[in-house]
Structure 1
Amino acid sequence: MSNAKVPRGFHEFQFRYLIVWCLAITADWLQGPYVYELYASYGWSKVDIAKLFVAGFGSSMLTGTFIGSVADAWGRKSCAILYCILYALACVTKHFNLYWILMLGRLLGGAATSLLFSTFECWMVGEHKRCGFPDELLRYMFGLMFFVQYLAAIGAGLLAQFAASSLPLTHLGASTWYGGPTTPFDVSLAFLLIAIPTISFLWQENYGDPGEGGCDGVVQIASSFKAGCQSLSSDWRVPLLGLVVAAFESSMYVFVFNWTPALDSASIAPPHGLIFSGFMMACMCGSSLFSLLDASVQPIKVLWPVCLAAAIALACVATSLWTGASEEWVFGGFLAFEACVGAYFPCVSTVKSQIVPEETRAGVYNVYRVPLNLCVVLLLLADLELQTSFTVCTCCSSSQRSRLR
């Protein structure tokens, strides 16, 4: 991107958004490698762990039906701060080996992730449009946003590995523990506490509908939710894109639950943080490839080959598990799938920014997460074998190809 084409104030806008996004997403990535490992270390069975994951996705599904409307109506900056508070509380619960407290943590975390994957992006798009920056810079911004995300994720994986191995898991008393796989959650808590004042100082508030900023709270939410539903019915592309999001991303979240047991080895404990960093490096490569595409290439045309490649990668994983191939083959398939995920997110985000109306953006984005989380909950409750899970993931990734053609 040539500096001659960059409008005044764009670099400041980049800094204000990306520094906050980096803190917020790093806090999330720090937890990823050790969620399953922590529950397993506490002695919970795979079925019990699956129920905890279901609680998180179910919470995200239920809150997703209205929390985006809250963000549109009450302000996206305020909801970004709320994300930090909810996720910080979720981190604290990880120190207690009591199932109901761990369940509470998953419920808080599910609500927080609904905010993370809608509110922050909506603030960026809304601020971009408010400042009058050209649309071609929005595509560039999405590519940069996800590049920073995956770069932060690589660092988060390494930091989580270091933190988890710095202290052994130690019983403090009663049901309280510290060290081991709880430590990455403490580091995540620190990032969230730093993010709160950073958001307060760097961001200004924006809303889904500029005319609703001072209305009564309940009226705001009801109006925003109604407008979001109208957006789904007024343009056939909006719900169709939601089906694509649900199909692809449900396979991704089932992968999140299953990659740890899929790579477990009887001979050596896998370095979860390093493996996670490897996944994120693959994601960053995919994101970079999307950024290098010529601006004349329509993002909607890129989605189809990305989804096809992801389906092939998951098919290779499923085949390796069915045939009893070594963990190296499974890991290779995972890396290929993560590269597709890296290309998918900036691509689909650009498409969403073009199709979804600005005034109902956060509400529609969270409605998209309802069928997504429903798919994930049903798949986890089915308690499928690893081979079957990845076979189903392959079908999910490939099912939207006909919709994209």
Structure 2
Amino acid sequence: MSRNISIKEALGMATKTLVSNKLRSSLTMLGIIIGNASVITLVGLGRGAQTLAKNQLSNLGANVLFIVPGNNDTRRRGISFPKNLVLEDAIAISNQVPTVKKVAPQISANEIVQSNSKSLNISIAGVTPEFLEVRSFEVDKGRFLSKSDVNSARSYVVIGPDLKDEFFKDKSSSLGKKIRIKDHTYEIIGILKPKGAVFGSNQDKNAYIPLTTMVNRITGKDPTYGVSLSFISVEAINKNATSAAKFQITNLLRQRHKIIRDDDFAVRSQEDALNIVTNITSGLTFLLAGIGAVSLVVGGIGIMNIMLVSVSERTEEIGLRKAIGAKQSDILIQFLIEALILSTIGGLIGTTTGLSGVFLLSLITPLPASVGITTTFSTMIISGSIGLIFGVLPAKRASKLDPIVALRSL
């Protein structure tokens, strides 16, 4: 008399079958292992890139606005920025916008810097004393540039810690030392504390000189526009005033530049940049997760293929079991359990491998790679579901075998 076998019995038989074919079972699980490991690692990589970008943007300051020459159209088309953002604009913003606390005009250029026999091509910035507070930089040794340094166009320079290490690694103090920028010598009066990189640019390897010195000796003054700026950094009186400051600055510059249609400048906040970066990195994370998911699907197809082969090889076993009373549901459950075991164990191994990969990424790269618990469990559930779904076809084929036909092959 036939009876339904219990889940426990089906689990025992499925486990015994898989253990007796260790190599085949291991190779079958390999696709799921690679798929899970890929999803976890790639998602961790994407989230690490997103976190890194957010951390770098937070260094800019929550209340800071950046005013740059050119509009979105010129940026998309790669047109060189116009020189219509001038020092007088920065002065007007400082004097006429009530929601602004400090204004820091800046001119940037790449120049060859020399010390003794070593030379480097680095970013030189002409700035004013307000730069230090607006951009949240701190002085480690010495002092920053003062108003008198700017007014007198002195040959002073403040350098980042990485630049100091490049030129004066073996010396206890670099204050008072001289470096050459272009054709002139500058005295180092200050060393900044580490600030880190922003969008791949190492701020700790930059040099800062008075804005007037930058104009007189490096960039010059445009006969049409005057002192052209690379950009203007503006600190609002508080975080809540950032939107109002952006609106007021835009109106003021439109009036000053006599703009009727499209702006010839752009005002960007940290929040704007953060939204752009978040959208890009989120898209990147989904893309990477999709690539990893393809590996999971391939792993599921591998399980289906191997189990179809297994059904062909185990025709006699299935025939004997049906001959002694096993039902179609019994055969179906056993093969589904085998597929589920393969995908679950493969998912666990793959997840562990992926988490190890994320940990290694965070150790050996600047990316703070991480994966949330939700992502980890979701990946494991998906891998188990894939094994179950792709195991249905072989299980149905096995359960529908005619015992008489199966026994003829004995």
Common fold, TM-score beyond 0.5? no
* Range into which the TM-score falls when normalised by the shorter chain: under 0.3
Q: TM-score, normalised by structure 2?
A: 0.21
> Normalized per residue, which structure has more helix?
1
Which has the larger Rg?
A: 2
More strand by share: 2
* TM-score normalised by length of structure 1: 0.21
